[in-house]
Amino acid sequence: RGNHRSHVLPPVILWAWERPEDLRFIDPGREGVAYLAATIALSGDRISLHSRQQQLQVPDGTTLVAVVRLETDRNDRPVLSDGQRSAVAGIISRIGSIPAHAAVQIDFDALTSERAFYRALLHEVRGRLPASVILSITALASWCTGDPWIAGLPVDEAVPMLFRMGADRAAVLARLQAGADFSLPICRASVGISTDELRPRLPADRRIY
């Protein structure tokens, strides 16, 4: 399941978003931290970068995953040019190449019209990252089942997000409750859950975000 690189990540990884986080209580032998390092917004022919402003405290030896959130302006649609893609890839690869980071994770709810751009972006990021750095993406649960457009992407893991699922929620939960797994192998290494929703039945032996 997934790529061999992702096996170095711990079995539990806590997402830490843009707020002050004191996670010095975790056991770095079992738990890692995926923290929001930056948000990149695309609109028209422009990109803007917002780097993390809030303090993050973790124990020595904690496995760190740098999360980069991509957002596209729904009113001023981005042109998704080669220049935008190259600039975004450069930012992500620089963040992922920081020695403290075991992995970089891209969080992008790509619309159907944005998928070609995202696919090309991931190929460029992978080409720029050191071979030892894990490339992870979050994935809508539907991308791992009935709409498997992410098959063949150059990523080490795709983390199906089993919360805030919207219209697909009932079908995805019924599939998991019946003991079925995600159809794409790249989605079978990890799952993402939220502590403020009931935990669904999960396939065995998964990394939990």
pLDDT of residue 5: 66
pTM of the shown model: 0.93
Residue 168 vs residues 71, 106, 111, 140, 194: alpha-carbon distances, Å = 21, 22, 15, 9, 17
Helix (H) or strand (E) holding 59: none
Helix (H) or strand (E) holding 1: none
Confidence of residue 4 (pLDDT cuts 50, 70, 90): low
Confidence of residue 16 (pLDDT cuts 50, 70, 90): very high
By percentage, how much of the chain surpasses pLDDT 70? Answer: 97
Q: Which two tokens stand for residue 12?
A: 């539990």
pLDDT at residue 70 tops 70: yes
> What value does the mean pLDDT take over residues 2-17?
82
pLDDT of residue 1: 47
> What value does the mean pLDDT take over residues 124-139?
96
Helices 115-128 and 82-96, interaxial angle, to 10°?
40
> What value does the mean pLDDT take over residues 109-134?
97
Is 37 or 178 the better-scoring residue by pLDDT? 37
- Identify the sign of the CA torsion 61, 35, 17, 159: negative
Burial of 159 (0-12, 13-18, 19+ CB in 10 A): buried
Residue 74, Cβ neighbours under 10 Å: how many? 8
Q: Which two tokens stand for residue 34?
A: 């995926």
